[in-house]
Amino acid sequence: MHLMYFTEQPMSTYPADKGLEFGATALMFSNRYFDPVDGSRLYNEFLEQYLYAEEVGIDGIMLNEHHNAPFCMQAKANIFAAILAGMTEKVKIVMLGNPLPLSENPVRLAEELAMIDMISKGRLVSGFVRGGGQEQLAAGVNPAYNRERFEEAHDLIVRAWTETGPFRFEGRHYQNRVVNPWAVPLQKPYPRVWVPGVISRETIVWAAEQRYPYIALNTSIADTKKIWQTYDDVALEAGYEAGPENRGYLIQVHVSDNEEKAIENARQFRWMQGEFTGLAHPVWSTPSGYSSPRNRRAFVEFAAGRRANPRGQTSFEQQMEDLRIIAGTPDTVVPKLRRILEETRPGILALWGNDGTVSQEDSMTCIRMIGTEVFPAIREIAKELDLKSPFEAEAPVSIRYSTDLKAPAAAAE
């Protein structure tokens, strides 16, 4: 079991009333409400949290990035990854991940990630994502080619990492006539790639085809099981049997030494008006061409106010009930996590420890109790349930490096 700590790095001091007044807290919500004095303090507090997470024995630090919004202050995950590469000794630096389609030059990303891998002495996990809908506009990148760019940028990066240069890459969206980066990863054949996601079936299928672990982001137990069904089916077609080493799960868990305080702090998981990524403008969050055509009808009806958000919207109480938010002391938290582990059998687990305006002191307490009490118990449960991480299972980095395929993937093409 690989156990990680995650925070969205919330810009907790933005004026929430202004967001409500504007009606959205992303993309066009003015950055006049971003205060760099608070920003400077908060970045350093997050850094303190990460270093402490390593100190209390947590295996990995999960990083992500978002743009033009207060729910996440990381505008470039590679920056924190680079800082942690130099300042930590043991933790895995798990990027979930770099939004590939937003990049105009994936070779540059390959270089940055290779540097992080070398500086960290091989502790990089290089997850890749499509980027949120509104981030396509924030980066000026065409949402209609999001998935094509994602897959093509991935292919280019993997080639830049694994093929001896110089070589030439002529893709549909990327044409790099000379690929020859003088920075390649320390880990061979290349750093592990994990793929997080929520609802896009295409992403689950793609991850399974690549044999990359898929990290379900705060989905309900029922939805998580559906995701694994899809993944497992594709895996069988590709010639391997998926197991816990292919499955990751991120869940909002706040731990405290006091039940009431834990629940009060856990309410902050809903601090962005109860939305995962803030108060979304339905058109900005789902630009045309960004989503799967199968979801088109639902999203246009949502955009016109004719149906509920296809991404779902439930109350704090319901989320607690569904175990999508867990809060309490280690004694009450561990049995709930056990149920999730038993039902969904992941080999990678990330706890999103705190959000919103939870104080630095309470955040640090949460991290300490996760590291010293919750995770040791989870490790025992994982042993009992035989939930191995990709590292423990010595899983191949990708399908290309698999030696156990029952029907070679090439034959299916």
Partner 1 sequence: MAGGCGDYWQETGVAGVPVRYCRCGTGSPVLILHHDIGCPDRADFAEALSGSRDVLMPVHPGFGLGSERAEWMRSVRDLAVLYRGLLAKLGIGRATLVGLGFGGWVAAEMASMAPADVDRLVLVGAMGLQPREGFILDQALVGYIDYAEAFFKDPAAFDAVYGREPTNDQLEAWDICREMCFRIAWKPYMYSQTLAPLLGSVTAPALVVHGADDGVVPADCAAQYAAALPNARLETVADCGHAVALERPEALARLVQDFIGE
Residue ranges binding partner 1 (CB under 8 A): 28, 137, 140, 142-145, 282-284, 287-289, 296-297, 299-301, 303-304, 306
Min. distance of Cβ 126 from partner 1 in angstroms? 28
Burial class (CB in 10 A: 0-12, 13-18, 19+), 83: middle
Min. distance of Cβ 296 from partner 1 in angstroms? 6
Q: Which is nearer to partner 1, 31 or 403 (CB)?
A: 31
| Positions of E strands within 240-352 | 247-255, 325-328, 348-352
Min. distance of Cβ 309 from partner 1 in angstroms? 15
List, as own/partner pairs, every contact residues 36-43 make where C-beta atoms lie below 8 angstroms and the sequence separation is at least 24, other chains included: 38/11, 38/12, 38/13, 39/11, 39/73, 42/9, 42/10, 42/11, 42/12, 42/13, 42/73, 43/9, 43/73
Q: Which is nearer to partner 1, 200 or 360 (CB)?
A: 200
Q: Which is nearer to partner 1, 131 or 282 (CB)?
A: 282
* Residue whose tokens read 């420890």: 353
Q: Which is nearer to partner 1, 41 or 296 (CB)?
A: 296
- Helical H segments across 129-220, by residue range: 133-138, 146-162, 201-210
Q: Which is nearer to partner 1, 34 or 145 (CB)?
A: 145
Min. distance of Cβ 37 from partner 1 in angstroms? 30
Q: Which is nearer to partner 1, 76 or 296 (CB)?
A: 296
Min. distance of Cβ 289 from partner 1 in angstroms? 4
Phi, psi (degrees; rounded to nearest 5) at 114: -65, -40
Rounded Cα distance between 366 and 268, Å, is 14
Q: Which amino acid makes up residue 279?
A: L
Min. distance of Cβ 274 from partner 1 in angstroms? 22
Q: Which two structure tokens, joined as six digits, stand for 321?
A: 């009930």
Are residues 357 and 268 in contact, defined by beta-carbon separation less than 8 angstroms?
Answer: yes
Phi, psi (degrees; rounded to nearest 5) at 91: -65, 145
